Amino acid sequence: MEEKELLPHLFRTEYRKLVAVLCYLFGIEHVEIAEDIASDTFLAAAETWAIKGVPENPVAWLYTVAKNRTKNHLKRNAIFEQKVASEVRYSMEKNEEIDIDMSPQNITDSQLAMIFAVCDPLIPSDSQVALALNLLCGFGVQEIADAFLLNKEVVYKRIQRAKEKLKEGRIRIAQPGVSEIGERLETVLTTLYLLYSEGYYSISQNTTLRKELCAEAMRLTFLLAENNHTDRPEVSALLSLMCFHSSRFEARTNANGEMVLYEDQDESLWNRDLIDRGAYYLARASAGEKLTRYHLEAAIAYWHTHKEDSPEKWAHILDLYDHLLAIEYSPIAALNRIYALAKVQGKDSAIRDALQLNLTGNHFYYSLLGNLYTGIDHAQAVAHYETAVKLAHSEADKAILFRNIRRLESKS
């Protein structure tokens, strides 16, 4: 990785770990101090590395600086030391320095405790998700706004109100108990699902594939699956879904970085180990009686790891989409169902259902119509693709649309 890309990469992967560990240590009421120390650590890295160069172990350098800045803060702020240092989870002798544990296990424990803390029922679920994405996952306010299709100011206010609620409630950051898991697991899984989706279908940046975010979402979900108290069927279902999607990472872009549509992907590039792992977690998810969106989406993703274009495959996928829309409607799921419907009942039937959706602000909607009209009415197909281009956010999406337009124009 080039030096100019290293610090932004480390900010994405390490900032949230520093915040989680410091909040775990001090409590959620001091979250701003934790954020300030983490931010100052990265500011010091930017200034120091520009002069002296990148250290041999950049992550260890960041952790050391964060520890030192935390200790310095405690020493120079007597009030903070009196209120916080006496309450932190590590017992200390009078002259003993506070232990800031940046071990992998404590980072893991801190993040798991943190995500359940910010998903406390004291605050509304939409604010819970926004705060979790901000603190635990390192999302900026603009990225969260894009993920929810909301105004940036709305997201900022949600995060600030959520922080105040948690402070007022004096919510402890601790390993979750059985009752907390029952109350908050759904919100936790929604957060991880959105984190993965941001990596897989990024809106706020001009790339559709951000493997690092997806890997982090999978890692956090894996933590839930490996914890005896949080190992639930819906957790396995979400992890299965992530494995199936991630198995096709390498096939989703070509040598020029352009997106490759599913039907054009080179199956030899699919990761069979991840497909097998996805099948394993999907089998684990079958335990119990609760059927969630993650079960159904994982099953749909499973069928997409079978490249053959058989009627049986698409009939299964269509049936799964029908069940998914029945338990939790979403515009994207409705659009994807139309594609499966075209495979099963033909394009004419699919066009009729698609037009009823009338999702005129969504570029995927017009892209789908362009696909459906291809081979039926090329002028209509081109017109829909051109509308999709105007609505598309990422350059990768636009490149696919322009490619489809050129194919149609070459046949005219």
The answer as to whether 404 is a domain residue is yes
DSSP letters spanning 79-114: HHIIIIITTSSS---TTPPP-----HHHHHHHHHHH
C-alpha 391: how far from its chain's center? 23
In this structure, are 242 and 306 located in the same domain?
A: yes
Q: Report the amino acid identity of residue 233.
A: P
Burial of 224 (0-12, 13-18, 19+ CB in 10 A): buried
In this structure, are 307 and 367 located in the same domain?
A: no
CA distance 339 to 372: 8
The answer as to whether 322 is a domain residue is yes
Strand partners, 253: 259
In this structure, are 323 and 389 located in the same domain?
A: no
> Residue 259 — φ and ψ, nearest 5°?
-70, 140
The answer as to whether 334 is a domain residue is no
The pLDDT of residue 96 = 52
CA distance 346 to 220: 41
The answer as to whether 60 is a domain residue is no
The answer as to whether 367 is a domain residue is yes
C-alpha 315: how far from its chain's center? 29
In this structure, are 374 and 301 located in the same domain?
A: no
End-to-end alpha carbon distance in the chain: 45
In this structure, are 239 and 298 located in the same domain?
A: yes
Rounding to the nearest 10 degrees, give the CA dihedral for residues 198, 201, 205, 206. Answer: 160
The pLDDT of residue 64 = 95
Percentage helix, strand, coil for the chain under 3-state DSSP, each rounded to 5: 75, 0, 25
The answer as to whether 298 is a domain residue is yes
The pLDDT of residue 97 = 59
Strand partners, 259: 253
Cβ neighbours of residue 360 under 8 Å, at least 6 residues apart?
none
In this structure, are 281 and 314 located in the same domain?
A: yes
Whether the CB-CB separation of 141 and 152 falls below 8 Å is answered with yes
Out of 328, 345, 380, a domain closes at 328
For the whole model, what pTM was predicted? Answer: 0.79
The answer as to whether 99 is a domain residue is no
The pLDDT of residue 84 = 59
The pLDDT of residue 203 = 53
DSSP, collapsed to helix, strand or coil, labels residue 150 as: coil
CA distance 277 to 244: 8
The pLDDT of residue 404 = 92
CA distance 343 to 162: 45
Whether the CB-CB separation of 360 and 369 falls below 8 Å is answered with no
Whether the CB-CB separation of 173 and 114 falls below 8 Å is answered with yes
In this structure, are 240 and 296 located in the same domain?
A: yes
In this structure, are 243 and 321 located in the same domain?
A: yes
Domain residue limits at 381 = 353-412
Residue-level pLDDT, tens digit, the chain, 412 residues: 666 789 988 988 899 899 999 998 888 888 899 999 999 999 999 999 999 999 999 999 999 999 999 988 887 776 555 555 555 544 444 445 567 889 988 998 898 898 888 888 888 877 887 888 888 888 888 877 876 667 899 999 999 999 999 888 888 888 888 888 888 899 889 888 987 887 777 654 444 446 777 888 898 899 899 888 899 999 999 999 999 999 998 888 777 767 788 888 999 999 999 999 999 999 999 998 889 999 999 999 999 999 888 999 999 999 999 999 999 999 989 999 999 999 999 999 999 999 999 999 999 999 999 999 999 999 999 999 999 999 987 777 888 899 999 999 887 6
Whether the CB-CB separation of 170 and 121 falls below 8 Å is answered with no
> Residue 367 — φ and ψ, nearest 5°?
-65, -40
Residue with tokens 């949600």: 158
In this structure, are 291 and 360 located in the same domain?
A: no
In this structure, are 378 and 293 located in the same domain?
A: no
The pLDDT of residue 87 = 57
In this structure, are 323 and 362 located in the same domain?
A: no
The answer as to whether 32 is a domain residue is no
Among 341, 366, 234, 360, CA closest to 287 = 234
Give the chain's domain count.
2
| Pair of tokens at residue 229 | 């108290």
Whether the CB-CB separation of 230 and 224 falls below 8 Å is answered with yes
